[in-house]
Structure 1
Amino acid sequence: MVSRIMTIRLSSGLKIELDPVEWPEIGSACRTSVQHGGYVAEKLIVRRHDDGRTLIYIDADPGADILVQGDIFPSRIRELESYVLRFSESHGLPEWVAEKCVESIRG
Protein backbone atom coordinates (compact mmCIF):
# COMPACT_ATOMS: atom_id res chain seq x y z
CA MET A 1 0.00 0.00 0.00
CA VAL A 2 1.33 3.42 -0.95
CA SER A 3 0.62 6.06 1.65
CA ARG A 4 0.01 9.69 0.83
CA ILE A 5 2.38 12.05 2.61
CA MET A 6 0.46 14.89 4.22
CA THR A 7 1.68 18.45 4.71
CA ILE A 8 0.36 20.19 7.79
CA ARG A 9 0.99 23.79 8.81
CA LEU A 10 1.38 24.03 12.56
CA SER A 11 -0.03 27.01 14.43
CA SER A 12 3.55 28.24 14.78
CA GLY A 13 3.76 28.55 10.98
CA LEU A 14 6.14 25.58 10.60
CA LYS A 15 5.15 23.10 7.88
CA ILE A 16 5.66 19.40 8.56
CA GLU A 17 5.20 16.32 6.41
CA LEU A 18 3.88 13.10 7.87
CA ASP A 19 2.94 9.63 6.75
CA PRO A 20 -0.61 8.82 7.91
CA VAL A 21 0.40 5.16 8.33
CA GLU A 22 2.92 6.22 10.99
CA TRP A 23 0.35 8.60 12.57
CA PRO A 24 -2.93 6.64 12.73
CA GLU A 25 -6.13 8.55 13.35
CA ILE A 26 -7.54 8.00 16.84
CA GLY A 27 -10.46 10.42 16.68
CA SER A 28 -12.26 12.95 14.49
CA ALA A 29 -15.37 15.06 14.01
CA CYS A 30 -16.58 17.23 11.16
CA ARG A 31 -19.00 20.00 10.34
CA THR A 32 -20.11 21.86 7.25
CA SER A 33 -20.79 25.57 7.36
CA VAL A 34 -21.52 28.40 4.98
CA GLN A 35 -18.80 31.03 4.83
CA HIS A 36 -18.36 33.81 2.29
CA GLY A 37 -21.24 32.49 0.21
CA GLY A 38 -19.95 28.92 -0.09
CA TYR A 39 -19.85 25.67 1.84
CA VAL A 40 -16.80 24.82 3.95
CA ALA A 41 -16.19 21.32 5.28
CA GLU A 42 -14.00 21.30 8.40
CA LYS A 43 -12.69 18.14 10.01
CA LEU A 44 -11.04 18.09 13.43
CA ILE A 45 -8.61 15.14 13.49
CA VAL A 46 -6.45 13.59 16.20
CA ARG A 47 -3.55 11.28 15.29
CA ARG A 48 -1.05 9.51 17.53
CA HIS A 49 2.45 8.33 16.60
CA ASP A 50 3.88 5.09 18.04
CA ASP A 51 6.25 7.18 20.15
CA GLY A 52 3.27 8.79 21.90
CA ARG A 53 3.28 12.23 20.26
CA THR A 54 -0.19 13.47 19.42
CA LEU A 55 -1.18 15.67 16.49
CA ILE A 56 -4.41 17.65 16.58
CA TYR A 57 -5.34 19.49 13.39
CA ILE A 58 -8.13 20.93 11.29
CA ASP A 59 -8.50 20.01 7.65
CA ALA A 60 -10.78 22.57 6.00
CA ASP A 61 -11.69 22.40 2.34
CA PRO A 62 -13.16 25.72 1.24
CA GLY A 63 -13.22 24.64 -2.39
CA ALA A 64 -10.05 25.81 -4.11
CA ASP A 65 -7.32 25.25 -1.55
CA ILE A 66 -7.07 22.84 1.34
CA LEU A 67 -6.17 24.51 4.61
CA VAL A 68 -4.60 22.28 7.22
CA GLN A 69 -3.41 23.68 10.52
CA GLY A 70 -2.50 21.95 13.75
CA ASP A 71 -0.26 21.39 16.74
CA ILE A 72 1.90 18.50 17.95
CA PHE A 73 1.76 17.64 21.62
CA PRO A 74 4.42 15.74 23.57
CA SER A 75 4.35 12.05 24.39
CA ARG A 76 2.08 10.87 27.13
CA ILE A 77 -0.05 13.97 27.49
CA ARG A 78 -2.50 13.12 30.22
CA GLU A 79 -5.36 15.43 29.38
CA LEU A 80 -5.80 14.79 25.67
CA GLU A 81 -9.48 15.66 25.91
CA SER A 82 -8.77 19.12 27.32
CA TYR A 83 -6.15 19.72 24.60
CA VAL A 84 -8.77 18.85 21.96
CA LEU A 85 -11.29 21.23 23.54
CA ARG A 86 -8.78 24.10 23.83
CA PHE A 87 -7.39 23.56 20.32
CA SER A 88 -10.89 23.51 18.85
CA GLU A 89 -11.90 26.67 20.71
CA SER A 90 -8.74 28.53 19.71
CA HIS A 91 -9.46 27.75 16.05
CA GLY A 92 -13.09 28.86 16.15
CA LEU A 93 -14.85 25.51 16.03
CA PRO A 94 -18.05 25.06 18.02
CA GLU A 95 -17.80 23.16 21.29
CA TRP A 96 -20.00 20.35 19.95
CA VAL A 97 -17.38 19.51 17.31
CA ALA A 98 -14.68 19.08 19.97
CA GLU A 99 -17.04 17.03 22.13
CA LYS A 100 -17.88 14.75 19.21
CA CYS A 101 -14.15 14.31 18.52
CA VAL A 102 -13.50 13.43 22.18
CA GLU A 103 -16.33 10.88 22.05
CA SER A 104 -14.73 9.25 19.00
CA ILE A 105 -11.37 9.03 20.84
CA ARG A 106 -13.07 7.28 23.75
CA GLY A 107 -14.58 4.80 21.32
Structure 2
Amino acid sequence: MLLLFSPSLRLSCHPVGNFFVIFTKSFSFLIGPIGGFGLGLFTTYRNQTILNCFGALLLAQDRYGIGGSVQLRIWNNVIGLLFVGIYLLSLKVLSLLYNQLKRRKVCQNNC
Protein backbone atom coordinates (compact mmCIF):
# COMPACT_ATOMS: atom_id res chain seq x y z
CA MET A 1 0.00 0.00 0.00
CA LEU A 2 2.80 2.42 0.79
CA LEU A 3 4.38 1.78 -2.59
CA LEU A 4 1.46 3.59 -4.20
CA PHE A 5 3.00 6.88 -3.05
CA SER A 6 6.14 6.60 -5.15
CA PRO A 7 6.27 5.06 -8.63
CA SER A 8 10.04 5.58 -8.66
CA LEU A 9 10.36 3.55 -5.49
CA ARG A 10 8.31 0.75 -7.02
CA LEU A 11 10.49 0.74 -10.12
CA SER A 12 13.71 0.53 -8.14
CA CYS A 13 12.78 -1.89 -5.34
CA HIS A 14 11.85 -4.74 -7.65
CA PRO A 15 15.11 -4.75 -9.65
CA VAL A 16 17.15 -4.66 -6.45
CA GLY A 17 15.32 -7.70 -5.11
CA ASN A 18 15.63 -9.51 -8.42
CA PHE A 19 19.32 -8.65 -8.63
CA PHE A 20 20.02 -10.42 -5.36
CA VAL A 21 17.91 -13.41 -6.31
CA ILE A 22 19.70 -13.86 -9.64
CA PHE A 23 23.27 -12.88 -8.69
CA THR A 24 25.31 -13.61 -5.62
CA LYS A 25 26.68 -10.93 -3.33
CA SER A 26 30.05 -11.21 -5.04
CA PHE A 27 28.66 -9.28 -8.03
CA SER A 28 27.01 -6.51 -6.00
CA PHE A 29 30.09 -4.28 -6.26
CA LEU A 30 29.41 -3.85 -9.98
CA ILE A 31 26.00 -2.25 -9.56
CA GLY A 32 27.40 1.01 -8.13
CA PRO A 33 29.49 1.94 -11.17
CA ILE A 34 26.75 0.75 -13.52
CA GLY A 35 24.18 2.87 -11.68
CA GLY A 36 26.49 5.89 -11.68
CA PHE A 37 27.07 5.54 -15.40
CA GLY A 38 23.34 5.23 -16.03
CA LEU A 39 22.66 8.22 -13.79
CA GLY A 40 24.82 10.34 -16.06
CA LEU A 41 22.98 9.13 -19.16
CA PHE A 42 19.43 9.85 -17.98
CA THR A 43 18.14 13.37 -18.43
CA THR A 44 14.80 13.22 -16.63
CA TYR A 45 14.53 13.60 -12.88
CA ARG A 46 12.27 10.54 -12.58
CA ASN A 47 14.81 8.20 -14.17
CA GLN A 48 17.65 9.66 -12.11
CA THR A 49 15.57 9.13 -8.96
CA ILE A 50 15.06 5.48 -9.86
CA LEU A 51 18.80 4.89 -10.21
CA ASN A 52 19.55 6.88 -7.06
CA CYS A 53 17.09 4.73 -5.11
CA PHE A 54 18.63 1.63 -6.65
CA GLY A 55 22.08 2.64 -5.41
CA ALA A 56 20.80 3.60 -1.96
CA LEU A 57 19.05 0.25 -1.56
CA LEU A 58 22.18 -1.62 -2.55
CA LEU A 59 24.27 0.30 -0.03
CA ALA A 60 21.76 -0.22 2.78
CA GLN A 61 21.30 -3.95 2.11
CA ASP A 62 24.68 -4.77 3.63
CA ARG A 63 23.60 -3.40 6.99
CA TYR A 64 19.84 -4.06 7.05
CA GLY A 65 19.34 -6.84 4.53
CA ILE A 66 17.31 -6.40 1.36
CA GLY A 67 13.92 -6.45 3.13
CA GLY A 68 15.03 -4.01 5.81
CA SER A 69 16.58 -1.62 3.32
CA VAL A 70 13.40 -1.54 1.22
CA GLN A 71 11.29 -0.89 4.32
CA LEU A 72 13.71 1.82 5.45
CA ARG A 73 13.51 3.53 2.07
CA ILE A 74 9.70 3.38 2.06
CA TRP A 75 9.40 4.81 5.58
CA ASN A 76 11.92 7.56 4.77
CA ASN A 77 9.76 8.58 1.82
CA VAL A 78 6.57 8.48 3.90
CA ILE A 79 8.16 10.63 6.63
CA GLY A 80 9.39 13.05 3.97
CA LEU A 81 5.88 13.30 2.53
CA LEU A 82 4.48 13.99 5.99
CA PHE A 83 6.99 16.78 6.58
CA VAL A 84 6.17 18.34 3.22
CA GLY A 85 2.44 18.12 3.97
CA ILE A 86 2.88 19.76 7.37
CA TYR A 87 5.07 22.48 5.85
CA LEU A 88 2.59 23.24 3.07
CA LEU A 89 -0.31 23.26 5.52
CA SER A 90 1.52 25.66 7.81
CA LEU A 91 2.29 27.95 4.87
CA LYS A 92 -1.39 27.94 3.91
CA VAL A 93 -2.45 28.80 7.48
CA LEU A 94 0.13 31.58 7.73
CA SER A 95 -0.97 32.97 4.37
CA LEU A 96 -4.62 33.01 5.47
CA LEU A 97 -3.71 34.75 8.75
CA TYR A 98 -1.60 37.32 6.92
CA ASN A 99 -4.42 38.08 4.46
CA GLN A 100 -6.92 38.52 7.31
CA LEU A 101 -4.62 40.91 9.15
CA LYS A 102 -4.00 42.82 5.95
CA ARG A 103 -7.75 43.17 5.29
CA ARG A 104 -8.34 44.40 8.85
CA LYS A 105 -5.65 47.03 8.47
CA VAL A 106 -7.07 48.22 5.15
CA CYS A 107 -10.58 48.34 6.62
CA GLN A 108 -9.41 50.31 9.66
CA ASN A 109 -7.67 52.90 7.48
CA ASN A 110 -10.47 53.29 4.92
CA CYS A 111 -13.64 52.63 6.91
TM-score by length of 2: 0.28
Q: Which has the higher strand share?
A: 1
**TM-score with structure 1 length normalisation?**
0.28
